[in-house]
Structure 1
Amino acid sequence: MKMLPRLLVLAGAFAAAQAALALPSHSDRVYTADQNTNTVSVFDPSSNRLLGQIVLGNERPDVLSPLYRGEVNVHGLGFSPDHKTLIAISNGSNSVTFIDTATNKVKGKTYVGRSPHEGFFTADGKEVWVVVRGEDYISVIDPTTFKETGRIPTAVGPGMVQFLPDGTLAFAVSSFTPEVDVIDVKAHKVIKRIPVVSPFSPFLQFTPDFKEMWMTHKDVGKVTRIDTRTQAVVGVIDTGFITNHLAFAKVGGRVLAYVTVGGENVVKVYTLEKEAKLVATIPTGALPHGIWTSDDSSRVYVGLENGDGAEVIDPATNKVVAHMPGGQAPQALVYLSHVAAPGSAENLKPRVNGDSSNIKLKPVAAGSEAKGFAVARPLGVVDAIEVAVFKLKPANAYTVWLGSQQIGALRTDAKGNADVTMIGPVRNFGMAAGAQPAPGAAHLSIVEGTAQPSAGASVLSD
């Protein structure tokens, strides 16, 4: 009987050791593509810390001057099947940068057509397919010579492409056309077009068994499920305002889907049943965007577009367990296992940017559906304020005020939405979520027309 407590202690220690072994390794890496700092941030998932950044171009606003070298809007990420090569897609300079994951060194670069978005290696690793969202084709690149070898015509505005593991078919979503293109990989030809509910789909991912392809619809806040065998839509899920990316993790013997919903600052967790069920909603930092799961499903990593870093979710508890500061405006995020020497920060630069401040904009008039948010980022001697507004009057002019000073203007689109960036000297404004305004802080307001901010003129305010 006296042996029982000791056996329980030993069993507990063994279970803890097993759990520790299951967590990410020191040789694994998490990467984010940082659109504003034009960096790739490199994180050690075993310690949840930033190792450093791969600098591909100048920070904003330096890139607003004539650009002869360096990349602009580092946005998409992909990787080779052997994890030895990372590719970074820059949609402002139309480039694909090939990075050696062991050394963090750039080993090649390819310039493609207007505004590429995402890229990925074929299942055999012999080709890289990059969707050229500003046009209507996929650029095919030889990853050994870094030369474009062909183009595959697609629907206008391809958003992302991924491959079935047997190398037969690829699925390409579109950012401007409400369809999915099914492509014969060997023939480089679209063989089927699948209608979907929205023309704006920036991301897709296969379930771990590859029986379904899930795609996000950022503009309408939905996820579409497609059967990869029948190539038919088998479900549409209402996920929420600014649905960005998704990932899958195996938890407690079942696979769950994790969807970033940027407009709600949450990750939503769904079952893969015939009728998907929402089983958890995980609060995150500002504007969650990219998401990827560790190989063993022990962690889910989320890039925060307005939080300038990444957060770590424990899927066993559905809670954020760590925050990792990184580059400005991270977009895509990927996790790669066994890519570098433990703790190596070779050829990485220290973090080039500071932290951001986030402001939630609330409607002034009772019953208004208007909403918005703003993020302020330090840029050295000046700052940038990015403002996004939704559900205002369509095709209408508004001004942005910081206290009694007009700092910018915007015009909404046909849906009443707008997104603008203003650059200038700003040091003290508004109220961050859950905080008290600093002494002398000015409030941010959105005003119809050019009138001074007031209860009657302001439509949104912090």
Structure 2
Amino acid sequence: MAAAQLAVAGQAPGSLSDPDVPVSHHDRVYAAEQFSNTVSVIDPAENKLVGLIRLGDPSPGNFSPLYHGQVLVHGMGYSPDHRTIAVVSIGSNSVSFIDTQTNAVKHVTYVGRSPHEAFFTPDGKEVWVTVRGENYISVLDGTTFEEKTRITVPNGPGMQIFSPDGKYGYVCSSFNPETQVISVADHKIVGTVKQASPFCPDLAATPDGKQVWFTLKDVGKTQVFDARPPFALLKTIDTGPITNHVNIVHNANGMFAYVTVGGLNQVKVFRTDDFSQVATIPVGNLPHGIWPSGDGTRVYVGLENADAMAAIDTLTNKVIANVPIGQAPQAVTYVPNAVPEGDGTQNTVPLGMAGQTTHLSLVAAGTPKSADASGAPTSVSLFNQGLVQVLQAAVTGLQAKQPYVLGLSNNPDGSGDVDVLANFMTNPAGAAIVNTIGQIRQVVAAGDTKAQDKRRYLVIAPQVAGKTGAPVQVQAL
């Protein structure tokens, strides 16, 4: 097959000169799913789930010291020939390399503490893995997938992406307020860009090689800097609480940055020439990863608290499909021509328990029961793990940098004693992602008085002098 047919159509992470690759049954969209420990595989031609690649078991099966699977499947990248995806699992410190044609795991490389993302250099010779729990990038051989060297950086590297020409690697930080620019040829740091906050989860380079966009989850901002020396900061944009990922789309209307804003359940769209915002797209609860199709006509968004993949038409900026997938999707990639032959269903399993999730909302205390909860500040998912459930709350609308509790009350208005499920501190945007695990869900049969008496209600309350204060958010009924 001609090399041009494998190119990424002027979309990130490819070059603007690459030809279009129209959406087809040979393409695949992948989502890394943190709580079901799976990778969902979608055929974008039909926006249909092909199946799940199971990399590990749900909790508590993965608690055993004899457990061999992966834990907290999270990050994702792919090779320039589109034949391999690299999937990072934070909890098991691993990168799983999966064949896109067969969906088979062909190698697993174990790296340092809490890796976050992995991506191939544009020439395919190396795979850079940001080891966020330490202070280095683990550089793997692009063929053997074994570690060949490490690049020391400030503590907490979050993600890396490369300039389309392969000259620079851009590495943002999750623990330090600076992004490093590294020469790919000799692994030397050649530039530093100041971040407005320490917590950057994601970045993307424009296909024309001119800009790098990165997100700041803790303060709800997106920043842009010149991709070329001296790597000057160009723009800071207030995007909103729990700003997650960013990616670049090039289509007939121009070049745009698409930013997922988890706390607003929106994707915001900005021009790359004048940084003006041109669209706001409602997509569903807690949008996270995002990636364009090979021709820029679509962009796909993983909805972390909706267990779905949203497909957006980039010419109209409207959601055209929602595909049910696994639990808590994180990183998303779109791989053109991932499956050259056949239906690509090998080594996949049905959605099954990974699709069993309960969705709730919390609203401001005192909100009338009849009020519409669609714009609720906090969304909650209860991910079924069999014996237990993982609870994840995407919390917004609180005071910044203050301690709160998420708990259960016997009363719908949150009054009375509160049994604490989790303690948390809000970020500078008054938001937080709160996780806890246990036998949380209670099934209440309608009309069963005894069951109704035992029902519990989620609440959020401030923590004042070590004690729980009056609830500020309560479960929507």
| Fold shared per TM-score above 0.5 | yes
- TM-score calculated relative to the size of structure 2: 0.83
Q: Report what 1:364 is aligned to.
A: 365
**Residues 19-418 of structure 1 aligned to structure 2 (within 5 Å):** 24-230=23-229, 231-274=231-274, 276-340=275-339, 341-352=341-352, 353-364=354-365, 371-390=377-396, 391-392=398-399, 396=403, 398=405, 400-401=407-408, 403=410, 408-413=420-425, 415=427
Change (3 A) 1:185 1:301: same
Change (3 A) 1:253 1:71: same
- Whether 2:460 is the aligned partner of 1:446: answer yes
Per-residue deviation, 1:379 = 2.4
* Greater than 6 Å deviation, 4+ residue runs: none
* C-alpha distance in structure 2 between counterparts of 1:320 and 1:417, whole Å: 26
Q: Which stretch of the first structure deviates more once superposed, 440-449 or 212-221?
A: 440-449
Contact 1:22–1:298 (Cα < 8 Å) also in 2: no
* C-alpha distance in structure 1 between counterparts of 2:141 and 2:22, whole Å: 35
* C-alpha distance in structure 1 between counterparts of 2:300 and 2:67, whole Å: 34
* C-alpha distance in structure 2 between counterparts of 1:360 and 1:349, whole Å: 30
Contact 2:103–2:344 (Cα < 8 Å) also in 1: no
Per-residue deviation, 1:116 = 0.3
* CA-based RMSD: 2.6
Deviations 1:135-162, CA, capped at 9 Å, x for gaps: 1100011132221110000111101111
* C-alpha distance in structure 1 between counterparts of 2:223 and 2:106, whole Å: 37
Change (3 A) 1:26 1:394: closer
Aligned-residue identity in percent: 46
Contact 2:109–2:145 (Cα < 8 Å) also in 1: yes
Deviations 1:208-240, CA, capped at 9 Å, x for gaps: 212101011111111111111231101111111
Contact 2:219–2:241 (Cα < 8 Å) also in 1: yes
Letter in 1 for 2:435: V
* C-alpha distance in structure 1 between counterparts of 2:337 and 2:68, whole Å: 32
Per-residue deviation, 1:72 = 0.5
Contact 2:160–2:203 (Cα < 8 Å) also in 1: yes
Contact 2:267–2:283 (Cα < 8 Å) also in 1: yes
Per-residue deviation, 1:105 = 0.7
Per-residue deviation, 1:414 = 6.9
Paired residue secondary structure (2:263): helix
Per-residue deviation, 1:394 = 5.2
Q: Which stretch of the first structure deviates more once superposed, 134-143 or 21-30?
A: 21-30
Q: Report what 1:4 is aligned to.
A: none
Contact 1:74–1:89 (Cα < 8 Å) also in 2: yes
Paired residue secondary structure (1:458): coil
Paired residue secondary structure (1:63): helix
Contact 2:21–2:336 (Cα < 8 Å) also in 1: no
* C-alpha distance in structure 2 between counterparts of 1:318 and 1:412, whole Å: 35
Letter in 2 for 1:387: A
Per-residue deviation, 1:342 = 4.7
Question: Unaligned regions of 5+ residues in structure 1, if any?
Answer: 1-20, 430-438
Q: Which has the higher contact order (CA 8 A, sep 6+)?
A: 2
Deviations 1:381-419, CA, capped at 9 Å, x for gaps: 443322344535856463501545966433233747651
Q: Report what 1:5 is aligned to.
A: none
- TM-score calculated relative to the size of structure 1: 0.86
* C-alpha distance in structure 1 between counterparts of 2:400 and 2:72, whole Å: 30
Q: Report what 1:9 is aligned to.
A: none
Change (3 A) 1:403 1:46: farther
* C-alpha distance in structure 2 between counterparts of 1:31 and 1:343, whole Å: 15
Question: Unaligned regions of 5+ residues in structure 2, if any?
Answer: 1-19, 368-375, 412-416, 445-450
- Whether 2:429 is the aligned partner of 1:423: answer no
Letter in 2 for 1:364: A
Contact 2:298–2:313 (Cα < 8 Å) also in 1: yes
